[in-house]
A and B are shown apart, each in its own frame.
Chain A
Amino acid sequence: MMRNLAKLRASVVKEARILLRDRQALILFFTMPVLFVLILSLSLRDVFGDRPGATFPVLVVAEDQAEVGRGIVDTFRANPHIRLALAERASEAQARQWLIDGHYRFVVLVPAGATLQAKRRLGEIMAEVPADLRLEQPVSVRVLADPSLRSDYRKVLEGSLDLALHGIEMKLGREQLEQALRATQGSHFTGLPDMEHGRLFQPVHGETVTKRGGGPTPTSVQQNAPAWTLLAMFFLTVPLSVAFIKEREQGSLFRLQTMTVPAWVVLGGKAVPYFVINQIQMISVLAVSVYVLPLLGGDPLGLGNAPLALLLMGASASLAAIGFGIAVAVYARTTEQAAGFSSATVMIMGALGGILVPKAVMLPIMQELAVISPLSWGLDGFLDIFVRGGGVDDVLPEALALLAFSAFCHAIAIQRYRRRV
């Protein structure tokens, strides 16, 4: 065993030397994913979010048809960026479903009797009932938002709703004040009511609506950073398998077979350096996404709060990629075969797995099909961490699937490597 470990070490050193001497390849390994993430996160930002100048379908469920309901509808109707839809009656669940199904990006729920409630509260304020003794609560106009709506657009929509509510407040207040002034003829006017401490409406807080499958839709960088890390990791199967077949073509592999070198030493000698490269790829992509992207005007990547889960995902994705590369190398006859097969397979697995095109925009049937792609397992794991704030427990199924895939690939590779004709 100790002897074989020494041999493994020598194999790793040999492979590392060979890799380090291929400068061009190394540069490609690291710049490719970083550039992809930078370019695509910046340029696809508006696809994941929304194009400037786009119009949003907004639904207002106005169960109140008086001043409050009408005021909100009028404000939104005046906004050229909003395609307004109206409903007089809809349950909240129904509204959520519409949002999830993508009919609307934004839903405003105006509760029945909102105007009445606002007026009664105004009356209490005018009568100077102390805040803790008032019977009426501020009216709650609820807002539901599609989480993939870019946050700045959401803020604008929420702001315009806020403005509408302030306008209604002012209007109702002025009417009440006029009535009061007329009734008292100014004789015992005690000053303006304290509107500051008696808002008629609750502050607007948009609630994002969770989509099917759990968790909000990722932002551009949340999707791109893990996607291109994974693709880069799996693309390393091309140089890995080519290096292995070259070794066979150069005869050095046969030479090793005439010596007492176990298969796991030979394959492990390949795996370790490529594993290290994979980890550096991941770290550089994450670093660029966190630190460089915001400098270029993109959204920064939040790494979630489970570094251990991140390490676990990085390691298992890399092992899966390496296993795949080694299996391809052992089975392929020529370098062309290996390079062609592994790059084509990785592209297909990437397309299927939501790497090239996010799963959220794929047809439902394709979303189901994504399950067969190891890259999809990897992506789901990373999204668990970045978007859903998941920890080790949450990514464990994905990590285990990747590790099982890796073990399977290594097993068939070793079995084939040992075979003699």
Chain B
Amino acid sequence: MTSTASPSPAPQADVRVGTPAIELKGLSKSFPGGRAPALDGVDLSVPRGGIFGILGPNGAGKTTLMSILGGLILPSSGSVRIDGHDVLTEARHIRHILGLVPQEPAIYPTLTARENLDFFGRMQGLSGAYLESRIQACLELAEMTGEADQRVEQFSGGYKRRLNMVIGLMHEPEILILDEPTVAIDPHSRALIHDRLRELNAAGISILISTHYMEEAELLCDEIAIIDHGRLMVQGLVPDLLAQRRDEAIELQFFGEPGAGLARALETIPGVQRAEQAGCRVRVFSDRPEQVIAPIMQRVQAEAPTLRSLVFGRASLEQVFLSLTGDRGAPR
């Protein structure tokens, strides 16, 4: 189930020709002493110019995959090409065009934000006025010009993650890989990171991002792959995946528990197959959700409990995810 198999009206169709940004063939990785392989025969093709999401529960192998891309660990078998270059034999070329943002902030706590940027910039070979301009640009990207000269240990977790991300941008990579950049940060920082990633993407940078958050993947990514237990479960454009697996449930939430009669009343509506109540929540199953909404609303008003929300068709990527990975490690 890869994207090449699903014809779609992808807006990026034109940039997908040519070498993919990242291409994995039969990639496997077993850690010495590890019981099951962390990656098991992964074939993946990340096209240029898009934002590609890698989804998977804890321990799925996301970080392992990204570490291999960054040259930090060696694959056990299979081939890895970035920008058409092999990671094992052509590391030099790759390191100049690749930016890797690790999952845990990799920064020096007793240095200031500026000193961290300066150090890693120099380690990327930058110097002089260009280095200065990059430091400034990255501080602005992270919206921390005011905190530039504070020691990182005084930063909140969100600030650390923002700094962690822009360090990966110092050398203006063409391909940016981010390992769960939005874990454990507030909505403002998350929105900031999303905005920045969209801007970078608009400027032509190919982005590979791993995440737990379905919402994030839906909002941000053009294409996603879901991995679990080191295996690729599905790869495809987000609209295609959504079209494949529609959520048939309509979820109603009430202030207070509705009477037991409501579910039975809803089940009498033509087109409704089943209605289940659990506490303040009622789930209505139908294969034509659009058509049954109006009659449902009528019944609800007649039965009178105060409706808090009505959701349908959402969280569908979550459904895809759950159906593929089982209920283990359910994402938020």
Q: A10-B123, A17-B110, A260-B124 are in contact. List 10 more A-B contacts (CB 8 A).
A: A7-B123, A14-B108, A14-B111, A14-B119, A250-B106, A255-B102, A258-B71, A258-B100, A261-B123, A421-B31
* One of B2-10, B91-99, B249-257 contacting the partner: B91-99
- The 9 A-B residue pairs with the shortest CB-CB distance in the complex, in nearest-first order: A251-B106, A10-B122, A258-B70, A255-B106, A14-B119, A258-B100, A420-B74, A21-B110, A252-B106
19 A–B contact pairs at CB < 8 A?
A: A7-B123, A10-B119, A10-B123, A17-B111, A17-B115, A18-B110, A21-B110, A250-B104, A250-B105, A250-B108, A251-B106, A252-B106, A252-B107, A254-B67, A258-B95, A259-B95, A260-B124, A420-B71, A421-B31
Q: Does B109 contact A (CB under 8 A)?
A: yes
Taking the closest CB of chain B, its distance from the CB of A208, in whole angstroms, is 54
Q: Does A257 touch B at the CB level, under 8 Å?
A: yes
Check A420–B73 contact: CB distance below 8 A. Answer: yes
Q: Is the interface of B mostly helix, strand, loop or mixed?
A: loop
Q: Bound state CA distance, A14 and B118, in angstroms? A: 9
One digit per residue, 1 when the CB lies within 8 angstroms of any chain B CB and 0 when it does not, for chain A 240-275 equals 000000010011101111111100000000000000
Q: Which residues of B contact A261 (CB under 8 A)?
A: 123
B123 touches A256 (CB 8 A): yes
Question: Beta-carbon contacts of A1-43 to B below 8 Å, as 1s and 0s?
Answer: 0010011001101100110011000000000000000000000
Q: Which residues of B contact A14 (CB under 8 A)?
A: 108, 111, 115, 119
Closest residue of chain A to B111 (Cβ to Cβ) is A17
Q: Which residues of A contact B102 (CB under 8 A)?
A: 251, 254-255
Contact A421 B74 (CB under 8 A): yes
A254 CB to nearest B CB, Å: 5
Q: Could you tell me the distance between the alpha carbons of A13 and B73 in the complex, rounded to whole angstroms? A: 28
Q: How many angstroms from the CA of A257 to the CA of B108 in the assembled complex?
A: 15
- Interchain CB contact (< 8 A) of B110 among A22, A255, A258, A259: A22
- A255: contacting residue among B98, B125, B167, CB under 8 A: B167
- A residues less than 8 Å from B106 (CB atoms): 250-252, 254-255
Chain A contacts for B155, CB-based, 8 A: none
Find chain B residues with CB under 8 A from A247 CB.
Answer: 108
| Contact across chains for B125 and A3 when beta carbons are under 8 A apart | yes
In the bound complex, residues from chain B placing their C-beta under 8 Å from that of A258 are: 70-72, 95, 98, 100
Provide the bound-state CA to CA distance between A254 and B63, in Å. 13
Contact B104 A251 (CB under 8 A): yes
Which residues from 148 to 164 on chain B have a C-beta closer than 8 Å to any C-beta of chain A?
151
Q: How many residues of B contact A (CB 8 A)?
A: 33
The interface centre, meaning the residue of B96, B109, B119 with most chain A CB atoms within 10 A of its CB, is B119
Cross-interface CB contact of B105 among A3, A7, A251, cutoff 8 Å: A251
Q: Are B72 and A260 in contact (CB under 8 A)?
A: no
Asked if B115 and A260 sit within 8 Å, CB to CB, the answer is no
Please indicate the chain B residues that have their CB under 8 angstroms from the CB of A259 in the complex.
95, 120, 123-124
Alpha-carbon gap, A243 to B227, bound state (A): 36
Q: Contacts A14-B111, A14-B115, A251-B102 given: A260-B125 contact, CB under 8 Å?
A: yes
Binary flags per residue of B66-103, CB closer than 8 Å to A gives 1, else 0:
01001111100000000000000000100110101010
Shortest distance in angstroms between A146's beta carbon and chain B's nearest beta carbon? 54
Residues of B contacting A251 with CB < 8 Å? 102, 104-107
Expressed in whole angstroms, the Cα–Cα distance for A208 and B72 within the complex equals 64
- B11 CB within 8 Å of chain A: no
Binary contact readout B126-167 vs A (1 if CB under 8 angstroms, 0 otherwise):
010000000000000000000000010000000000000001
In Å, the complex CA distance between A370 and B216 comes to 64
* Chain B residues with CB below 8 A from A3, complex form: 125
Given the complex, which residues of B lie within 8 Å of A420, measured CB to CB?
A: 71-74
Asked if A18 and B71 make an inter-chain contact with CB atoms under 8 angstroms apart, the answer reads no
Q: Say yes or no for B270: interface residue by CB 8 A criterion.
A: no
Mask, A115-154, CB within 8 Å of B = 1, is 0000000000000000000000000000000000000000
The interface residues of chain B lying within 8 Å CB-to-CB of A21 are 110, 151
Which one of B70, B98, B123, B151 has the greatest number of beta carbons of chain A within 10 Å?
B123
Given the interface pairs A10-B119, A255-B167, the reply to whether A250 lies near B92 with Cβ below 8 Å is no
By beta carbon, the residue of chain B nearest A258 is B70
Q: Are the C-beta atoms of B119 and A250 separated by less than 8 Å?
A: no
**B105: shortest Cβ distance to chain A, in Å?**
7
A251-B151 Cα distance, complex, nearest whole Å? 17
